[in-house]
Structure 1
Amino acid sequence: MAATPAARPMRIPGYGLPAPAEADLLLALTRQFGAERAATVLAEALQAAGLRADDAPFPPGALARVADVLAQQDGVTRVIGRSFAIRLATYLLLRRRSAPSVP
């Protein structure tokens, strides 16, 4: 049975992008390394972050751990990890700011 893609959270006004997800990391890695190597790099990063691919979609904290693992590597993998960490932090900040205030 094929897994159905998880619903992505709504876009935050002013952000213009959907919530960051592991698919974004895979896409960035694929653009640099090709599909096979990208899948291997992401699987290794997930494992190093204490995650299993079967548990996707991952919450922001888990994605931040994966980004940190990637950012500790060399070359373009480091850039991808840092870039994703920045995007995730930006998304979380804007999500907090757009949340209604609780009296």
Structure 2
Amino acid sequence: MMAALALWLGRAWGKVQGWAIVALALLAAVGAVFLKGRREGREHAQAQAQADNARRDIAARDETIQAGQERADVENDIAGRPAGDARQRLHDDWSRD
């Protein structure tokens, strides 16, 4: 009786051992896919952040260039006016008389 039980347990353990190996292999494959997806997602997020930073830098540079151009236009406009024009315009536009 004991020998039959031992034989049956030995066969059962052989079957369970095979299924356990398959289950561990499947778990390892799922884990590998999960970790690969996380790594790719992190890399994508970093690339997106770098692209966003580059776009912001370009926009800031364009705004600086535009502000410089506007300043140059105002300075050229003022330089092209006759002497005393600014004082006269202030007097005409802002005085209460």
Q: TM-score, normalised by structure 2?
A: 0.29
The higher radius of gyration belongs to 2
Q: Structure with the greater relative contact order (CA < 8 A, sep ≥ 6): 1 or 2?
A: 1
More helix by percentage: 2
